[in-house]
Amino acid sequence: MISTAITLTHLTGILRGTVTLPASKSESNRAQIINALSGAASTLDNLSEANDTTVITNLLQSTANELNAEDAGTVMRFMTAYLAVTDQHKVITGTPRMLQRPIGVLVDALRQLGAQIDYLGQDGYPPLRFKGIDRSQKYPATLKVRGDISSQYISALLMVAPLFPQGLTLELQGKVGSRPYIQMTLSLMKHFGVEGTFNNNTITIPAQSYRANHYTIESDWSGASYWYSMVALAKDASVELKGLRPKSFQGDSVIATIMEHLGVRTTYVANEVVLTKTGTVEPFRFDFTDCPDLAQTVAVVAAAKNVALEMTGLESLRIKETDRIAALQQELQKIGGDLEDLGEGLFRVKPATSINNNPVFHTYEDHRMAMAFAPVALLTPITIEEPGVVRKSYPRFWQDLEQLGFAIKPLEK
Q: Known binder of ligand: residue 235?
A: no
Q: Known binder of ligand: residue 190?
A: no
Q: Known binder of ligand: residue 111?
A: no
Say whether 293 is catalytic: yes
Catalytic residue among 220, 293, 366, 400: 293
SS (H, E, C) the chain: CCCCEEEEEECCCEEEEEEECCECHHHHHHHHHHHHHCCCCCEEECCCCCHHHHHHHHHHHCCCCEEECCCCHHHHHHHHHHHHHCCCCCEEECCCCHHHCCCHHHHHHHHHCCEEEEECCCCCCCCEEEEEECCCCCCCCEEEEECCCCHHHHHHHHHHHHHCCCCEEEEEECCCCCHHHHHHHHHHHHHCCCCCEEECCEEEECCCCCCCCEEECCECHHHHHHHHHHHHHCCEEEEEEECCCCCCCCHHHHHHHHCCCCCEEEEEECCEEEEEECCCCCCEEEECCCCHHHHHHHHHHHHHCCCCEEEECCHHHHHCCCCHHHHHHHHHHHHCCEEEEEECCEEEEECCCCCCCCCEECCCCCHHHHHHHHHHHHCCCEEEECHHHHHHCCCCHHHHHHHCCEEEEEECC
Q: Known binder of ligand: residue 368?
A: yes
| Neighbour tally for 175: CB within 10 Å | 14
Q: Known binder of ligand: residue 393?
A: no
Q: Known binder of ligand: residue 320?
A: yes
Q: Known binder of ligand: residue 245?
A: no
Crossing angle between the packed helical segments 25-37 and 73-85, to the nearest 10 degrees: 10
Q: Known binder of ligand: residue 285?
A: no
Phi, psi torsion values for 202, nearest 5 degrees:
-115, 125
Q: Known binder of ligand: residue 400?
A: no
Q: Known binder of ligand: residue 209?
A: no
Q: Known binder of ligand: residue 324?
A: yes
Q: Known binder of ligand: residue 178?
A: yes
| Neighbour tally for 78: CB within 10 Å | 29
Q: Known binder of ligand: residue 151?
A: yes
Q: Known binder of ligand: residue 396?
A: no
Annotated binding site for 3-phosphoshikimate: 25-26, 30, 150-152, 178, 293, 320
Active-site residue set: 293
Annotated binding site for phosphoenolpyruvate: 25, 73, 101, 152, 324, 368, 392
Annotated binding site: 25-26, 30, 73, 101, 150-152, 178, 293, 320, 324, 368, 392
